[in-house]
Amino acid sequence: MVAGRRALVTGAGGFIGSHLVERLVRSGYRVRAFVHYNSAGNWHNLERIDPALRREVEVVAGDITDPFSVHAAVAGQEVVFHLASLIAVPYSYVAPAAYVATNVTGALNVLQACRAHATPRLVHTSTSEVYGTAQYVPIDEQHPLVGQSPYSASKIAADKLVESFQRSYGLPVVTVRPFNTFGPRQSARAVVPTIVSQALARDEIRLGRLEPVRDLTYVEDTAAGFIAAAECDAAVGQTVNLGTGNGWSVGEVAERVLRLLGRRVPIVTDEQRVRPAESEVLRLIADNSKARRLLGWRPVVEFEAGLARLIEYVRAHPEQYRPEIYHV
**Predicted local confidence at residue 1, as pLDDT:** 55
> Which of 302, 325, 13 is closest to 197 using CA atoms?
325
Q: Is residue 94 part of a domain?
A: yes
In this structure, what CATH number is given to the domain that contains residue 234?
3.40.50.720
Q: Is residue 189 part of a domain?
A: no
133/123 Cα distance (integer angstroms): 25
**Predicted local confidence at residue 19, as pLDDT:** 98
Distance, CA of 237 to chain centre: 20
**Predicted local confidence at residue 181, as pLDDT:** 97
DSSP state of 48: G
**Predicted local confidence at residue 275, as pLDDT:** 84
Q: Is residue 185 part of a domain?
A: no
Q: Is residue 194 part of a domain?
A: no
Distance, CA of 130 to chain centre: 13
**Predicted local confidence at residue 278, as pLDDT:** 85
DSSP state of 3: T
Classified as helix, coil or strand, 16 is helix
Evaluate the CA torsion angle 104, 107, 111, 113 in order and state its sign.
positive
Write out the residue range of the structural domain in which residue 292 sits: 6-179+217-245+287-301
Cβ 148 vs Cβ 93: under 8 Å: no
52/141 Cα distance (integer angstroms): 38
Q: Is residue 165 part of a domain?
A: yes
Q: At what angle do helices 250-261 and 191-201 cross, to 10 degrees?
A: 40
Amino acid type, 116: A
10-residue mean pLDDT profile of the chain (328 residues): values are 88 98 97 96 94 96 98 98 95 97 98 98 98 96 97 98 98 98 94 96 93 96 98 98 97 96 92 86 96 98 97 94 86
**Predicted local confidence at residue 136, as pLDDT:** 97
Q: What is the DSSP string of 226-255?
A: HHHHHT-GGGTT-EEEE--S--EEHHHHHH
Biggest alpha carbon distance in the chain? 57
Q: Is residue 267 part of a domain?
A: no
**Predicted local confidence at residue 326, as pLDDT:** 84
How many domains, in total, are found in the chain? 1
Q: What is the DSSP string of 87-155?
A: --HHHHHH-HHHHIIIIIIHHHHHHHHHHHTT-SEEEEE--GGGG-S-SSSSB-TTSPP---SHHHHHH
From the number of C-beta atoms within 10 Å of its C-beta (0-12, 13-18, 19+), residue 298 rates as middle
Q: Is residue 212 part of a domain?
A: no
Cβ 258 vs Cβ 265: under 8 Å: yes
Q: Is residue 201 part of a domain?
A: no
Which are the contacts of 277, defined by CB distance < 8 A and separation ≥ 6?
A: none
Q: List C-alpha distances in Å: 171 to 41, 73, 118, 320.
A: 33, 18, 8, 39
295/235 Cα distance (integer angstroms): 8
Q: How far apart are the first and last CA of the chain?
A: 42
Amino acid type, 87: I
Cβ 50 vs Cβ 23: under 8 Å: no
Q: List C-alpha distances in Å: 132 to 15, 57, 279.
A: 23, 37, 8
